[in-house]
Amino acid sequence: MRAYVIPSGANSVDSLRAVERPDPKPRPGQVLVGLRAASLNYRDQMIATGQYFQPLTRDTVPLSDGAGEVLEIGAGVTSVVPGDKVAGTFSQPDPEGPASGAPQARGVPLDGMLCEKVVMWESVVVKLPRHYSFSQGACLPCAGVTAWNCLFAAGHPVRPGQTVLVQGTGGVSIWALQFARMAGCRVIATTSQESKVAKLKALGASDIINYREHENWDQRVMELTEGRGVDCVVEVGGAGTLQRSLNALARGGKIGLIGVMTQGTSNPHTLMLKAGHLHGILVGDRDLFVQMNAAIEANGIQPVIEQIYAFEDAREAFNKAASGQFIGKVVISI
């Protein structure tokens, strides 16, 4: 089968190379999936450029997120049949080990989804929402489940009438915007690009803050909420933006700490004085994936896809994702 790998020690997307690998075969309890699409997350950029906290120790197939068609099932598999459209969870037991093995992330340390075929344990396979294409399904496993976890599973679920703050226009933030609007929440979004304002408003954001123009964007959030603050912050910036998120939080509100894209310091007293809650979000399990898909089906939500690249143009897809000139997801067709 065709696949891409990032070599051990790589520090640039230019190291991405196409290879041929043997076709995998499912063991009892496993599912063979013919992948049809994969999507990129910020994590994938960090891995490819050698900036991820978990270094590559071998040539590794990149990307945690992919969707495809069940080609073959191993003995004992009952939840899916050949022809089903599926994705896999972000973290999975190693398909080379026992089904009871500790979950590990696709893309590193496990091989990822930028290949034509993959084997997964039945316990981590999830059927796509009925109306979804493979490209749409590839947007779900990391970004979608992370946003769902932050809003509805971590701490107190957001409720109608509350206010959610999303940072930027990456996959997690755009999913969070859509899910929060589905739940009847007001959404305030930040961006550095005026060209993205109209799209954010079309997706349902009531207010957009350009953080290049409003460096103290936390103060602007407080103005927009008449001094109350927001009930939930989808924090993808990390240490460099956490203090402003704390400042923008309403009393009793929560912050989902998702990304670590910037460096900085914060004062924990702010969280204490607001009786706030800080949750570390590491994607989410299969149950959350299934819950999210049910909500997507019931509400007809579709992912925001900036561009779909051919498999042969995978490097260009990486470069597009690295540019920041996109909203939602960048997808590679397989």
- Model confidence at 62, pLDDT cuts 50, 70, 90, reads very high
Nearest residue to 233 (alpha-carbon basis) of 277, 297, 289, 263? 277
β-sheet bridge partners, residue 200? none
Reply yes or no: is the peptide bond before residue 109 cis, omega within 30 of 0.
Answer: yes
CB 63 within 8 A of CB 114: yes
Q: Tokens 């997808």 belong to which residue?
A: 331
Is the model's pLDDT at 293 over the cut of 80?
Answer: yes
Give the pTM.
0.95
CB 253 within 8 A of CB 229: yes
Question: CA-CA distance, 162 to 159, in Å (whole number)?
Answer: 6
- Model confidence at 182, pLDDT cuts 50, 70, 90, reads very high
Read off φ and ψ for residue 9, nearest 5 degrees: 85, 5
Question: CA-CA distance, 228 to 230, in Å (whole number)?
Answer: 7
CB 160 within 8 A of CB 277: no
Question: CA-CA distance, 219 to 51, in Å (whole number)?
Answer: 32
Q: What is the mean pLDDT of the chain?
A: 96
81-117 pLDDT, tens digit per residue, is 999 999 999 999 999 999 999 999 999 999 999 999 9
Q: Read off the DSSP letter of residue 6.
A: B
What's the token pair of residue 64?
Answer: 């945690």
122: amino acid identity, one letter: E
- Model confidence at 263, pLDDT cuts 50, 70, 90, reads low
Write down the pLDDT at residue 264.
Answer: 63
Write down the pLDDT at residue 262.
Answer: 63
Average pLDDT over residues 51-76: 96
- The DSSP string of 118-149 is EEEEGGGEEEPPTT--HHHHTTIIIIIHHHHI
Domains annotated on the chain, with CATH: 2-139+303-333 (3.90.180.10), 143-280 (3.40.50.720)
Q: Tokens 């993205």 belong to which residue?
A: 196
